[in-house]
């Protein structure tokens, strides 16, 4: 069978999933349908429906689009079967029921943004940086009944630079992921796709990558300087690290998008308590950690736009004694 004859159904929703779909279409692969999330209401009154990035690309390229509310809906399953897919590809979508992933004769594979079995879960890009990794990667694997546990087809390492944040790493992985998806399809077409059990790929404890919520995005200033900086990098630009500035009788919640570790030579012993603020009120805002200090460079006070620290300080009166918690 040639790639032009292989009937592919593609499933995905966000920008990360657009690049592989684009690579398949431009590479001459036959995508017979695209499945994505239902249009999402946006705006103050939730009155405007916005299509997912994957749907926008599919419509622009005249690909049939299915947007089931439930993947177990009998009507959806019946329509899905009419496409007679040989292979299904999943990128940044949702967990599929077995009746869906087991439908194609060649199976269903997923692209995951980590080197499985490490960082299974919803937020692998963020957690790899938060935990200070210097290498992450991508994995394609066949779906099975559990999340991110199926037999591995391909893996590719990607370096995490000290200057990377979640946004820049996302973009690097998105580009490389598009190539890896096409290579995986070629492997399956040529009947040379590996099926390596994930248990054979490591003998050490694995880090999870759970979904991020407001509650687990709060900066712990009592942590080390390195860990605080990695935390900010790993959550920038989305969903963003959170903290609260206490000043006088007031409290100001904010997001922090960019920070920098201050060199030890710039500090004077004894170090102030974690969360303590040092500032000239004009150009810099330094915060103490358990073993040093970080300089905040870009932040977003509640109800305001993202801004530089200098812009923030122009409208903030520092009376001394301010601290983050």
Query: Tell me: the pLDDT tens digits for 123-163?
Result: 999 999 999 999 999 999 999 999 999 999 999 999 999 99
pTM for the structure as a whole: 0.94
What confidence score (pLDDT) does residue 277 get?
Answer: 93
| Of the residues 201, 228, 252, the one at which a domain ends | 201
CATH number for the domain spanning 292: value is 3.10.25.10
Number of domains in the chain: 2
Same-domain check for residues 161 and 103: yes
- CA pair distance 289, 305, nearest whole angstrom: 26
> Strands of 108-112's sheet, edge to edge?
65-66, 30-35, 7-12, 87-91, 108-112, 135-142, 152-159
Assigned domain for 207 exists: no
Assigned domain for 121 exists: yes
Tell whether the model's pLDDT for residue 319 goes beyond 70.
no
What number is the average pLDDT over the span 162-166? Answer: 97
Same-domain check for residues 25 and 156: yes
Same-domain check for residues 61 and 173: yes
CATH number for the domain spanning 159: value is 3.40.50.170
Same-domain check for residues 243 and 320: yes
| Of the residues 175, 201, 227, the one at which a domain ends | 201
Assigned domain for 209 exists: no
- CA pair distance 209, 25, nearest whole angstrom: 31
Interval 73-93: pLDDT, tens: 999 999 999 999 999 999 999
Q: What's the N-to-C CA distance of the chain in angstroms?
A: 61
Task: Give the tokens for residue 195.
Answer: 């099926």
Same-domain check for residues 16 and 164: yes
Interval 232-270: pLDDT, tens: 999 999 999 999 999 877 899 999 999 999 998 777 778
Spatial neighbors of 229 by CB under 8 A, at least 6 apart, are 259, 260, 261, 294
For 115, the domain range is: 7-201
- CA pair distance 285, 251, nearest whole angstrom: 17
Same-domain check for residues 132 and 76: yes
| Of the residues 176, 201, 226, the one at which a domain ends | 201
Tell whether the model's pLDDT for residue 48 goes beyond 90.
no
Same-domain check for residues 299 and 158: no
Tell whether the model's pLDDT for residue 206 goes beyond 70.
yes
Q: Tally Cβ neighbours within 10 Å of residue 85.
A: 23
Decide which of 235 and 42 is more confident: 235
What number is the average pLDDT over the span 96-120? Answer: 97
| CA distances (Å), origin 311, targets 258, 281, 297, 298, 314 | 14, 10, 10, 9, 5
What number is the average pLDDT over the span 26-31? Answer: 97
**3-state SS, residue 300:** strand
Task: Give the tokens for residue 46.
Answer: 């939730």
**Looking at the DSSP assignment, which residues form a beta bridge with residue 252?**
245
């Amino acid at each position: 069978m040639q790639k032009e004859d292989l009937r592919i159904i593609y499933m995905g929703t966000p920008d990360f999933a657009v690049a592989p779909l684009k690579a398949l279409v431009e590479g001459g692969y036959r995508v017979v349908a695209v499945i994505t999330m239902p249009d999402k209401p946006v705006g103050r009154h939730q009155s405007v429906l916005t299509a997912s990035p994957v749907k926008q690309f599919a419509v622009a390229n005249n690909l049939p689009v299915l947007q089931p509310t439930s993947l177990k809906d009998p009507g959806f399953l019946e329509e899905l079967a009419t496409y007679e897919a040989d292979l299904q590809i999943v990128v940044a979508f949702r967990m599929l029921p077995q009746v869906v992933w087991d439908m194609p004769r060649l199976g269903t594979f997923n692209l995951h943004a980590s080197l499985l079995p490490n960082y299974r879960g919803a937020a692998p890009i963020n957690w790899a940086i938060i935990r200070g990794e210097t290498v992450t990667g991508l994995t394609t694997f066949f779906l099975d009944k559990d999340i991110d546990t199926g037999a591995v087809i391909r893996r590719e390492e990607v370096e995490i630079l000290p200057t990377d944040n979640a946004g820049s790493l996302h973009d690097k992985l998105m580009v490389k992921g598009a190539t890896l998806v096409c290579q995986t399809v070629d492997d399956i077409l040529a009947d040379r796709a590996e099926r390596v059990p994930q248990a054979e790929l490591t003998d050490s404890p694995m880090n999870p990558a759970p979904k991020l919520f407001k509650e687990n995005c709060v900066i712990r200033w009592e942590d080390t300087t390195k860990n605080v900086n990695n935390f900010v990098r790993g959550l920038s630009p989305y969903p963003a690290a959170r903290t609260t500035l206490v000043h006088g009788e007031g409290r100001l919640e904010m997001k922090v998008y960019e920070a920098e570790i201050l060199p030890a030579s710039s500090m004077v012993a004894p170090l102030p308590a974690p969360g303590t603020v040092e500032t000239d009120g004009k150009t810099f805002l330094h915060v103490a950690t358990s073993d040093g200090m970080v300089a905040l460079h870009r932040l977003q006070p509640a109800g305001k736009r993202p801004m530089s620290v200098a812009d923030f300080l122009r409208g903030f009166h520092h009376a001394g004694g301010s601290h983050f918690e």
